[in-house]
Amino acid sequence: MRTLGQTALTPGENESRTLGSKHARTREKINLLSIGSIDHCYALHDALMEEGSSRTAVAQNCRELWMIPDYRELWVIPKHEAVHVAILHTTGSSFELDEACRFIRHQWPSAKIVVVDDGEDFLDDALYDDRLVPRTSTEVLLRVVDELLACQRP
């Protein structure tokens, strides 16, 4: 386990389970970034580790899940670390959500951004790739992440 400031970075345990799979070896390992409520972060972590979620490519190929409760901790993550998908569980203001999206777009231009929020349409559409309501199940969230990652591949 690695730490980022006070927040734990949890390596994906599914890696060892999928190494024997020919399909898994051809895919790039995925780094996920979960920002917001620590409860949402742990729910995502638990879903990634469950056997049932292994049907999703992101669960099978997740190398690391970085969990940070506050968007200001984004500045601590080294730029050379690849972020493939950022999931923002909004708990702050619309300004904080906007700033987090802009920072991610600047720092990791190829990262996909999923915003989990039921607020008004205050964000510029270019700042995120998909938006879900907070009541969305983690399983649906993982399928959306799969779809976004599939769009990146040729």
pLDDT of residue 113: 95
Residue ranges with strand state E in 12-140: 30-36, 62-68, 85-89, 112-116, 130-132
How do beta strands 7-11 and 62-68 pair? antiparallel
Tell me which residue range forms the domain holding 125. Answer: 2-152
The pLDDT of 17-25, averaged and rounded, is: 32
**Top-confidence residue, 154 or 38:** 38
- Give the pLDDT confidence of 86-127 residue by residue, as tens digits: 999 876 778 888 899 999 999 999 999 999 987 766 778 889
pLDDT of residue 49: 80
The pLDDT of residue 23 is above 70: no
**Top-confidence residue, 19 or 83:** 83
If DSSP codes are grouped into helix, strand and coil, which group holds residue 41? helix
Q: How many domains does the chain have?
A: 1
pTM for this one? 0.77
- pLDDT band at residue 44 under the 50/70/90 scheme: confident
CATH number where 34 lies: 3.40.50.2300
